[in-house]
A and B are shown apart, each in its own frame.
Chain A
């Protein structure tokens, strides 16, 4: 896919009342150039493919894909050129048609479908913007302001969205829709939402770029697994212990590291994440090494009842206790509610702490460390607190993960996990709680929904991140409301620029 280059020789913008004649040769030449660039790029990247044969690796050509992508680039570039020359409406119709064809008709490959739908969609969007604003492109500042307004609206609408969303999340397992698969996806999403909210404390509030958050997740998971394995402790005893241990590891890491600034800090946290994983791999006798730990006990119903059909001595069976038919789904539903509750605890904590001196000090540190110190804020303590608290929530999530999977190994705690959680926070808009939810739905939910595109998931993920960084570097829903108002929102808070 080629980005439209804006150096292309284009005539005056379409705002002129008398529509200028369409420069067909120019547009065709421009599109042909783009197609040529696409040819150069796609021949090695798409056109050749290594295939594993019994005789060894061999290379196979894929001319169809190359031709398809070149044609699509040609058409796309032509469409963009024509939009700029005042033919927005026909291009809009054609692009929508292409997207519809991609959606409806069977395609030879899934990539083709993806490109048709996405490409058609983007061009249609461009054309629609042109039709409404009379320009083919918004300036960066203008776009930012619009997105800010959207983010502010969403933020204010959260008051109404949040209860509905929570009610929906609570009701979901009770509906007939709730099968095993849906609940599993729900649990996965909620786990990432919880981790995103946890990391948001460090990254979004305190402004510390932590690239090793998964380490605390791992500490929590292994704390539970090992405590259960060696001492036979139950989940409900281990959950707080795992949180405490993760918080301790956060403090342990924090002490030497928090003096570092910016990039150095990020790199050291990244190293810490790897160190934890490598310890887990290599301390074979204690952690089981790469084989991990299996047979991690499942949680009971608050220590009262068990979810098995025939519970062990001294324990009631959940279905008997509540007079239900036995169903293996009960435990899943319980897990779902458990992670929902844990995630909400993190959320409520963050919402409350923002209005407390601790949270305000974090935000002040993010804005300006030197000024914070000049006001008597003990930076080390504040950062340690942020680190420890976020680590504790990571630890809770980790021990939940261990009990849900029943099996953990260092494989689950690689750097990519940290990267994904960080991507969720950054994509959503640093500090934005609702942003984390939206970003989790995008980053975890979409790939989960398009499982058949598995091969291209990471590609699409990377592309999405690049587009967001170009288009909205501050994150989708970055918007900050003051934590305390003097005028109760009666006088409008004048927006950027007005006072300059």
Chain B
């Protein structure tokens, strides 16, 4: 029977729960960060990403409805997060489409659900399920700690590559710049909610379970992006330095 962890122990456990399967280490992310992708690959990425994160306001709305009135700070955070995704600045999905257009895609192509992988639809369904059916602390752990808080570590590697290696302008790549910083803060506030309201051993364990599951989901989705769209062009992913030495002569 697990015991109630202190706030600092629980935070470390949450961080460890996703550290083994971080999406930044998946083949598609590695190919991106090392400058191997073509613009058409980015159009596919943006299309799938649109169907995965496009309904983020819906997910947060479901979580909001599941959050009890006494957790007013958690409700306010969810509302604020929703506002920031949709209204405070450029709509985040519009920035994503701006990037796809810079890669030669169109708004219509990106928004057409038929152009997304089954993995992306599965990811979307999983997020609707968790946000709609789970305790708000558990869904905060899954979606905000497990997924949203990973974003800065992914984009901080990918953004400079987009500018310096792939030649995008800062305006075209603004989607990434915005998320590097806003998701740092969303992630941190997500931690605060989870640390504060996961106040039984059962809730803590359930949060850890869903953080692991979220990380596994995102890792598998990111890997599938490579296998579906990039592998036919570049072959199976092999990390630099791990290639077989070329035969001489």
A and B found bound together:
no
Interface residues of B (CB under 8 A from A): none
